[in-house]
């Protein structure tokens, strides 16, 4: 990346004396880790490893996906440039939102949080750096940003205010170091519903005021009627032309509408996960009530009927494939983490035909045994789960079925993924389209993982044992196989702050879908490409 400079050292205040240099108008992102010195003092080596992992797995891919270029990284930050201000802000939001997921299960004082500043300016471009006031302003904006926040300049705001679906909070004009004119600064509110919630609060206020007004009018009319002489009241009561004071009763609902649960106004309803499809289908297929029942229930039509209980969703176990035991050569010489190649004997076991799906995960969530309700199509693989999340699901499945469900060991996973072969991929030594879901594996789009079973099964009848989603296994992460067990059991003990991932994902290239490929990741951190499948002891 060229010479590493500290963002705050002032190296960008003056361009280098190289004569005429290429210039360009660019959106500049400057990111910096909050409390970096404290984190390094507490755990120097661990913090360094975590930061490098974030740069590799999150920051660099996000910049590339949003058509930007990483200019350089330092120990505690990065600089990137973009042709599009819209893409620069979107990239910044993605980075911050993914960091929230990674930090969710960590103690507050151990979290790695970035401050991000974005500016639009004319910059001088060198092969390994950029210079000019545009960079300086982005750096100063980043310096006043709060941890986990994205702050942008007025120049960026004017370009994106009608193009990026988010909210903005004006922080006014700020005087920043070494910049003559004040800089208008905005804080980005990345929640797409932020503006909607503000609008909803206004609507709630108007509805409340309208209700108070109607109550006052009704009270006045009631007082007027009670204050009249009794004879006058009787005359008014007998007169057919007097309109009632109270709100009119609802008209009888059509017969087919009587089976539907009234929905709250979108402006008043709090955001909530969509109901499980099976529960919705159950409600819509309920027999229509009789005419007398419909008539009797008309006065209470404004009261929502109770939502179906989550337990109404039929429970189905994951489809499993029985694997006969056997011996195989585990590992490869393609990567240092896959060495040494060693002989392993695996006992008989069963493993999921597919990775665990969104529907299967949400059955666990409905039972309040898994930590969150997933969104997405029912037949898509569950993703954005930590190793701890995967363990929660396996434990719930074991309790519910009274069977010994668990995560597979790393040796079991590779044995099953190879399907009895010893080639680079289970189908041979060369990449073939239609065999796996990865970035360069074939025809399917790579914005999200394909539904389970979209690709051909391996010789053991297993789908997606390579590509789709990264898959957690039971073992603690170690950098090599030195000392690994030879009986197919999980390698535990020692430092288990990280666990092993297999398979590669739809965002990785084809070298990750090799059966021997392996990686490690923080045990309690969720990441968008991480999923799992279950195993079953005999």
Question: What is the rounded average pLDDT of the residues 50-71?
Answer: 93
53 φ, ψ to 5°? -70, -40
**pLDDT for residue 78:** 96
CB 466 within 8 A of CB 429: no
Find out whether the peptide bond into 340 is cis, omega within 30 degrees of 0.
Answer: yes
Residue 449 pLDDT level (bands cut at 50, 70, 90) = confident
For position 362, what pLDDT does the model report? 95
Q: Which CATH superfamily is domain 7-193 in?
A: Nucleotide cyclase, GGDEF domain (3.30.70.1230)
Dump pLDDT digits (tens) for 80-115: 999 999 999 999 999 998 898 888 888 989 999 999
Comparing 243 with 388, the larger pLDDT belongs to 388
Q: What is the pLDDT of residue 264?
A: 37
- Average pLDDT (317-343) is 93
In the chain, which residues fall in CATH 3.30.70.1230? 7-193
Q: In angstroms, what CA-CA distances link 351 with 35, 473, 535?
A: 44, 12, 4
Q: What is the pairing mode between strands 150-153 and 114-126?
A: parallel
Buried b (16+ CB within 10 A) or exposed e, 103-134: bebeeeeebbbbbbbbbbbebbbeeebbbbbb
Predicted local confidence at residue 229, as pLDDT: 55
Mean pLDDT of 117-139: 91
| Range(s) of the chain covered by CATH 3.90.1580.10 | 320-536
Higher-pLDDT residue of 209 and 74 is 74
Please give the model's pTM, rounded to 2 decimal places.
0.49
The pLDDT tens digits for 195-227 are 344 445 544 656 677 777 777 787 777 776 666
The whole-number pLDDT of residue 244 equals 42
| 253-297 pLDDT per residue, tens | 333 333 333 333 333 333 334 333 333 333 333 333 333 333 333
Secondary-structure percent of the chain, ordered helix, strand, coil, rounded to 5: 35, 20, 45
Q: Which CATH architecture fits 320-536?
A: Alpha-Beta Complex (3.90)
Instruction: Grade residue 10 by pLDDT with cuts at 50, 70 and 90.
Output: very low
pLDDT at residue 503 above 80? yes
Q: What is the mean pLDDT of the chain?
A: 79
pLDDT level of residue 524 (50, 70, 90 thresholds): confident
The predicted structure's pLDDT at residue 206: 61
Q: Average pLDDT in the 408-420 region?
A: 96
Q: Is the pLDDT of residue 161 over 60?
A: yes
3-class SS string, 273-315:
CCCCHHHHHHHHCCCCCCHHHHHHHHHHCCCCCCCCCHHHCCC
Q: How many residues does this entry show for the chain?
A: 538
pLDDT of 511 above 90:
no
With cut-offs at 50, 70 and 90, classify the pLDDT of residue 400: very high
Specify whether the CB–CB gap between 28 and 138 falls below 8 A. yes
Using the predicted structure, report yes or no on whether residue 322 has a pLDDT greater than 70.
Answer: yes
User: pLDDT, tens digit, for every residue of 343-392?
Assistant: 999 999 999 999 999 999 999 999 999 999 998 899 999 999 999 999 99
Q: Is 138 helix (H, G, I), strand (E, B) or coil?
A: helix
Determine the pLDDT at residue 436.
86
pLDDT attached to residue 256: 37
As given in the structure block, the two tokens for residue 140 are: 């100063």
Please give the structure tokens belonging to residue 360: 């299967």
| Phi/psi at 284 (5° precision) | -75, -20
- Tell me the average pLDDT across 168-187: 86
Question: In 93-149, where do the E strands start and end?
Answer: 114-126, 129-131
Q: State what percent of residues in the chain have pLDDT above 70.
A: 75
The confidence score (pLDDT) of residue 237 equals: 43
Check residue 247 and give its pLDDT.
Answer: 40
């Amino acid at each position: 990346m060229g010479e590493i400079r500290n963002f705050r050292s002032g190296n960008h205040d003056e361009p280098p004396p190289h004569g005429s240099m290429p210039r360009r108008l660019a959106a500049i992102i400057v990111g910096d880790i909050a409390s970096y010195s404290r984190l390094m003092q507490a755990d120097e080596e661990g913090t360094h490893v975590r930061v490098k992992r974030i740069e590799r797995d999150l920051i660099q891919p996000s910049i590339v996906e949003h058509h930007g270029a990483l200019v350089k990284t330092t120990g505690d930050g990065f600089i990137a440039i973009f042709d599009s201000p819209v893409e620069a802000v979107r990239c910044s939001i993605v980075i911050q939102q993914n960091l929230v997921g990674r930090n969710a299960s960590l103690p507050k004082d151990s979290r790695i949080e970035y401050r991000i500043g974005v500016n639009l300016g004319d910059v001088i471009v060198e092969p390994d750096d950029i210079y000019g006031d545009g960079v300086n302003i982005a750096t100063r904006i980043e310096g006043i940003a709060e941890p986990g926040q994205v702050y942008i300049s007025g120049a960026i705001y004017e370009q994106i205010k009608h193009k990026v679906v988010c909210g903005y909070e004006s922080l006014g004009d700020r005087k920043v170091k070494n910049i003559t004119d004040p800089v208008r600064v905005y804080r980005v509110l990345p929640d797409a519903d932020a503006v909607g919630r503000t609008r909803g609060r206004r609507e709630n206020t108007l509805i409340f005021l309208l209700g108070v007004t109607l109550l006052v009018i009704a009270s006045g009319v009631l007082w007027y009627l009670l204050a009249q002489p009794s004879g006058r009241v009787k005359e008014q009561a007998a007169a057919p032309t007097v309109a009632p004071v109270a709100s009119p009763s609802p008209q009888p609902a059509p017969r087919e509408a009587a089976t539907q649960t009234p929905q709250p106004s979108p402006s008043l309803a709090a955001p909530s996960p969509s109901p499980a499809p099976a529960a919705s289908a159950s409600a819509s297929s309920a027999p229509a009530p009789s005419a007398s029942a419909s008539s009797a229930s008309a006065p209470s039509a404004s009261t929502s009927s109770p939502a179906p209980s989550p337990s109404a969703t039929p429970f189905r176990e994951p489809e499993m494939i029985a694997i006969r035991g056997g011996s195989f050569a585990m590992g490869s010489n393609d990567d240092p983490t896959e060495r040494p190649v060693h002989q392993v004997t695996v006992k008989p076991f069963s493993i999921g035909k597919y990775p665990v799906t969104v529907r299967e995960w949400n059955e666990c969530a409905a039972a309040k045994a898994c930590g969150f309700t997933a969104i997405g199509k029912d037949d898509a693989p569950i993703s954005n789960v930590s190793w701890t999340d995967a363990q929660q699901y396996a434990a719930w499945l074991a309790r519910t079925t009274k069977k010994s469900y668990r995560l597979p060991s790393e040796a079991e996973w590779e044995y099953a993924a190879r399907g009895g072969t010893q080639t680079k991929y289970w189908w041979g030594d060369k990449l073939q389209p239609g065999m796996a879901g990865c970035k360069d594996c074939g025809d399917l789009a790579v914005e999200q993982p394909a539904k389970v079973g979209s690709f051909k099964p391996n010789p053991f009848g297993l789908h997606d044992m390579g590509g789709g989603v990264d898959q957690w296994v039971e073992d603690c992460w170690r950098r090599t196989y030195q000392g690994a067990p030879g009986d197919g059991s999980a390698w535990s003990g020692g430092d288990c702050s990280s666990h092993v991932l297999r398979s590669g994902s739809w965002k990785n290239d084809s070298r990750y879908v090799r059966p021997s490929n392996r990686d490690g990741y923080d045990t309690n951190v969720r990441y968008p490409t991480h999923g799992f499948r279950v195993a079953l002891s005999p």
